[in-house]
Amino acid sequence: MAEKPKIALYWCASCGGCEEAVVDLAEDILTVVEKVDIVFWPVALDFKREDVEKMKDGEILATFINGAVRLSEQEDMVKLLRRKSKLIIAFGACAHMGGVPGLANAQTKEKIFEYYYHTGPIVVNPEKNKPSPDFAKNKGFELPEFYKDVRALDQVIDVDYYIPGCAPPPNIVKNAVLTLLSGNLPPKGKVLASDRSLCYDCPLNETKPDEGIKIKEIKRYYEPEKVDPEKCLLLQGLPCLGPVTRGGCDALCIKGNMPCTGCFGPLDGVKDYGAAALSYIASIIDSNDEKEINEILEKGIPDPIGLFYMYSLPKSLLFKKLIKEE
């Protein structure tokens, strides 16, 4: 019997939701397992780093890596997997763009450590200890280095394909895996989801007026009972990012009466998702007065980084420019 293709799965700085996304394949996971041999999946199977090190370079057909890269251990592991794999797939929003962990880039490493190990309201640390690579050397082991920035996977290693989402829905995962196994590969760098914006899949798209959307205020989503589930959320003043977000998720958040937050990332050709999202929201405000527009934005969006860059801050060109100027 011919040897089955080998695949690996690994997680870095993530919540575990992408691991659940694999399990969420339900009975379809049997279809995948029939076709492949899973040779590395630390969250579910008892394989070790040395098992990967013993493999030949390129022996693994495809490795699916979820999570952003924050620690030296994660960087070392993804570089090893890159060497051992023919294909690397960034799996989920954190590997794709940096994800929610990437919001930490809005703070310095020093400020993060100060809060979590010294000044936080539930911290008990009278000796003022904080982690460092040599903190536990006298006990026979070494901690990984905590880097100053969170990085998306392609900021560390070469990535062949991207599966978007927080977490990727089962249909996207299944179709991506079967596409890779078919040998009929799309162009390198392809995001394995729709090429159109979420609005094309949205069940509320037909409620938008032909003349376009214009709003007088931006509302914060904390009273869901006041949201009309049969009307475009943008028309109701809710900052839905569907117009600038890649489709393919089956509009799951919209169907749950929640605005899109952008976890599928930008459409092709967009270099800075957050800048595109901000530009779109600003463009539909029904005013030509710059002061009034700024007031509407400031009142309705008190946390612009948290909204527009919820999943993509490490990839932001605009934010990097602002940091450099400071």
Burial of 13 (0-12, 13-18, 19+ CB in 10 A): buried
- Residue 321 pLDDT > 70: no
Can you say how many angstroms the Cα of residue 11 is from the centroid of all Cα atoms in its chain? Answer: 13
Report residue 131's pLDDT band, with 50, 70 and 90 as the boundaries: confident
Cβ(117)–Cβ(123) under 8 Å? yes
**81 three-class SS:** helix
pLDDT at 249: 95
pLDDT at 50: 95
| Mean pLDDT, all residues of the chain | 91
**Contacts for 188 with CB less than 8 Å, ≥ 6 apart:** 160, 161
- Residue 318 pLDDT > 80: no
What is d(CA 113, CA 143) in angstroms, rounded to the nearest whole number?
15
Domain segments of the chain: what residues? 6-100+151-182, 103-147, 198-325
Closest CA to 163 of 282, 321, 56, 9: 9
pLDDT at 35: 82
What is d(CA 114, CA 190) in angstroms, rounded to the nearest whole number?
40
* Cα–Cα–Cα angle for 240, 246, 251, rounded to 5 degrees: 60
Closest CA to 94 of 324, 319, 310: 310
Strand order in the sheet with 60-66: 37-40, 6-11, 60-66, 85-91, 161-163
| pLDDT 10s digits, 253-270 | 999 999 999 999 999 999
Write out 299-320 in H/E/C secondary structure.
Answer: HHCCCHHHHHCCCCHHHCHHHH
- Residue 157 pLDDT > 80: yes
Closest CA to 16 of 97, 94, 96, 70: 94
pLDDT at 325: 54
Cβ(306)–Cβ(313) under 8 Å? no
Fold for 6-100+151-182, please state it: Rossmann fold (3.40.50)
Instruction: Give the HSE-up count for residue 272: Cα atoms under 13 Å, Cβ half-sphere.
Output: 14
DSSP, res 117: I
| pLDDT 10s digits, 158-207 | 999 999 999 999 889 988 888 888 888 999 999 999 999 999 999 999 99
**Contacts for 262 with CB less than 8 Å, ≥ 6 apart:** 241, 244, 245, 273, 277, 308, 310, 311, 312
> Inter-axis angle of helices 273-283 and 290-300, to 10 degrees?
120
Q: Model pTM?
A: 0.92
Q: Using CA atoms of 182, 66, 148, 48 in order, give the dihedral in degrees to the nearest 10.
A: -100
